[in-house]
């Protein structure tokens, strides 16, 4: 039984990679009925692919006119449809926005690409790292010597999947009010830039140097960064506010060694060196015993496996078992309509007739 604020919302997802399946998982976890249309012959997802959970999967040969018509019959009864192909692919298949919205004028058509539906780079291949590179944000991440790939969270999942979902739900509210759907062009370069707006604003205000590891939030500040401990593990310190910084000085015993003011950027490198030496005097767990849960703004840097066992994560049930596999639980949390994993990745393949039969009945 579906649970969540999107119960009753019908979604058609054209199968893709990375942020596309994540968006489908997110909508399903919030209660939507998500129909994934995969290419004919696509193998079922393995149990560990949590982003494939909670879907009803149909396999079609989209080069067939009958299959395209099947898609359009499903879309006629859908609220949202989304795809993550390069510009022009869906039009060539006969499933572009004009055709789709002629059959269902109220549908919201989500499009997710790296570069957007137009622009000099719109037809080029790329990945998260490339999209993040042209936003200026990749340049700002990492040690002074070189930028580093920050996993594929900034552009793919933050700028892609999350903005796609927010955009489609905003357009759905408009469609419910006016009866008119629209296209949501989710370009990872646009959206990652929007995510990084704070740093563009900082630079415009003259308080952000366009170099790495010299600024407040990029590891340049001695009170905001990661420090290695005696056992080779790390802790994260974020003591920005003056009262938190004073507590950091007390807990580390650094007050008598740091004579300069907290925000004296000219002396940050030498103050960072003091903290580097101090944190090497205890193990990570010893620092946890001294600082965790205080207003220092402290946390141990955990591995992925350690994160699943941390008491805070355990009490909040951030990780749950589904289909015999430990997965991340749905978020955020709703007081009246909690989301839920509808079912684990399944090897079942549905037919369009199965779905249309269900969609002929009144919505919940």
Edge-to-edge strands of the sheet including 234-238? 224-228, 234-238, 298-300
127 is catalytic: yes
Does residue 189 share a domain with residue 43? yes
Average pLDDT, the chain: 95
Length reported for the chain: 364
Distance CA 107, CA 224 (A): 46
Residue percentage of the chain with pLDDT more than 70: 99
Report the predicted TM-score, pTM, of the whole model to 2 decimal places: 0.95
Is the pLDDT score of 219 beyond 90? yes
The tens digit of pLDDT for each residue in 245-292 reads 999 999 999 999 998 999 999 999 999 999 999 999 999 999 999 999
Does residue 334 share a domain with residue 276? no
pLDDT of residue 363: 66
Does residue 180 share a domain with residue 83? yes
Does residue 69 share a domain with residue 147? yes
Does residue 339 share a domain with residue 285? no
Domain count, the chain: 2
Is the pLDDT score of 312 beyond 90? yes
Does residue 338 share a domain with residue 260? no
- Are 74 and 36 contacting, i.e. CB atoms less than 8 angstroms apart? no
- 219 three-state secondary structure: coil
CATH number of the domain where residue 96 is located: 3.40.50.10540
- Min mean pLDDT across 44-53, 123-132, 192-201 is at 44-53
Q: Range of 251's domain? A: 224-303
Does residue 250 share a domain with residue 109? no
Strands 33-39 and 55-60: parallel
The tens digit of pLDDT for each residue in 319-338 reads 999 989 999 999 999 999 99
Distance CA 21, CA 52 (A): 6
pLDDT of residue 222: 97
The tens digit of pLDDT for each residue in 129-186 reads 999 999 999 999 999 999 999 999 999 999 999 999 999 999 999 999 999 999 999 9
Does residue 348 share a domain with residue 241? no
CATH number of the domain where residue 288 is located: 3.30.1540.10
The residues, ordered by sequence, that sit 6+ positions from 19 with a Cβ below 8 Å of its Cβ are 84, 112, 156, 157, 160, 161, 164, 188
Domain assignment of residue 265, yes or no: yes
The tens digit of pLDDT for each residue in 71-90 reads 999 999 999 999 999 999 99
Distance CA 108, CA 290 (A): 52
Distance CA 232, CA 284 (A): 8
From the list 127, 139, 174, 267, the catalytic residue is 127
pLDDT of residue 364: 62
- 181 three-state secondary structure: coil
Residue percentage of the chain with pLDDT more than 90: 93
By CB atoms closer than 10 A (0-12, 13-18, 19+), residue 106 is middle
Does residue 231 share a domain with residue 181? no
Distance CA 297, CA 94 (A): 54
Domain assignment of residue 68, yes or no: yes
Average pLDDT over residues 296-301: 98
Domain assignment of residue 213, yes or no: no
In whole angstroms, what separates CA 343 from the centre of its chain? 21
Does residue 151 share a domain with residue 273? no
* Phi, then psi, of 183 in degrees rounded to 5: -95, 135
Domain assignment of residue 39, yes or no: yes
Tokens coding 193: 């830039």
Distances (CA, A) of 117 to 14, 186, 187: 17, 8, 8
The residues, ordered by sequence, that sit 6+ positions from 320 with a Cβ below 8 Å of its Cβ are 326, 327, 328, 329, 341
Domain assignment of residue 201, yes or no: no
Distance CA 39, CA 60 (A): 5
Distance CA 219, CA 208 (A): 13
Domain assignment of residue 335, yes or no: yes
Is the pLDDT score of 11 beyond 90? yes
pLDDT of residue 361: 73
Distance CA 282, CA 232 (A): 10
pLDDT of residue 17: 87
By CB atoms closer than 10 A (0-12, 13-18, 19+), residue 196 is buried
The tens digit of pLDDT for each residue in 38-55 reads 999 899 888 888 899 999
Number of H-type helices and E-type strands within the chain: 14, 11
Does residue 350 share a domain with residue 246? no
Domain assignment of residue 310, yes or no: no
Does residue 334 share a domain with residue 266? no
Instruction: Count other Cβ atoms within 10 Å, centred on residue 334.
Output: 14
The residues, ordered by sequence, that sit 6+ positions from 294 with a Cβ below 8 Å of its Cβ are 247, 251
Domain assignment of residue 87, yes or no: yes
From the list 29, 79, 128, 156, the catalytic residue is 156
The residues, ordered by sequence, that sit 6+ positions from 100 with a Cβ below 8 Å of its Cβ are 72, 75, 81, 107, 109
């Amino acid at each position: 039984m579906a649970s969540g604020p999107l119960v009753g919302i019908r979604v058609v997802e054209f199968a893709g990679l990375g942020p596309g399946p994540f968006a489908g998982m997110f909508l399903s976890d919030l209660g939507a009925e998500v129909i994934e249309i995969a290419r004919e012959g696509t193998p079922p997802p393995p149990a560990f692919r949590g982003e494939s959970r909670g879907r009803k999967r149909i396999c079609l040969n989209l080069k067939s006119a009958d299959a395209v018509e099947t898609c359009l019959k499903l879309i006629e009864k859908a609220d949202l449809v989304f795809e993550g192909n390069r510009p022009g692919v869906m039009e060539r298949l006969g499933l572009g926005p004009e055709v789709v919205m002629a059959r269902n004028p109220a549908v919201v058509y989500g499009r997710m690409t790296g570069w957007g539906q137009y622009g000099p780079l719109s037809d080029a291949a790329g990945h998260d790292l490339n999209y993040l590179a042209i936003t200026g944000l990749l340049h700002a991440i990492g040690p002074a010597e070189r930028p580093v790939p920050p996993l594929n969270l900034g552009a793919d999942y933050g700028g892609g999947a999350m903005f796609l979902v927010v955009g489609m739900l905003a357009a759905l509210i408009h469609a419910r009010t006016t009866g008119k759907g629209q296209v949501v062009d989710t370009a990872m370069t646009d959206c990652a830039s929007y995510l990084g707006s704070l740093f563009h604003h900082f630079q415009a205000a003259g308080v952000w140097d366009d170099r790495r590891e010299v600024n407040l939030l990029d590891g340049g500040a001695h009170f905001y960064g990661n420090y290695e401990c005696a056992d080779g593990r790390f802790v994260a310190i974020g003591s920005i506010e003056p009262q938190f910084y004073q507590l950091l000085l007390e807990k580390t015993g650094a007050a008598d060694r740091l004579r300069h003011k907290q925000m004296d950027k000219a002396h940050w490198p030498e103050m960072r060196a003091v903290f580097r030496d101090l944190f090497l005097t205890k193990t990570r767990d010893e620092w946890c015993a001294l600082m965790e849960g205080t207003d220092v703004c402290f946390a141990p840097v955990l591995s992925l496996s350690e994160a699943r066992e941390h008491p805070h994560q355990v009490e909040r049930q951030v990780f749950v078992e589904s289909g015999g596999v430990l997965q991340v639980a749905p978020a955020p949390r709703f007081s009246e309509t909690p989301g839920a994993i509808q079912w684990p990745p399944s090897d079942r393949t549905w037919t369009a007739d199965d779905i249309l039969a269900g969609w002929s009945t009144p919505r919940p």
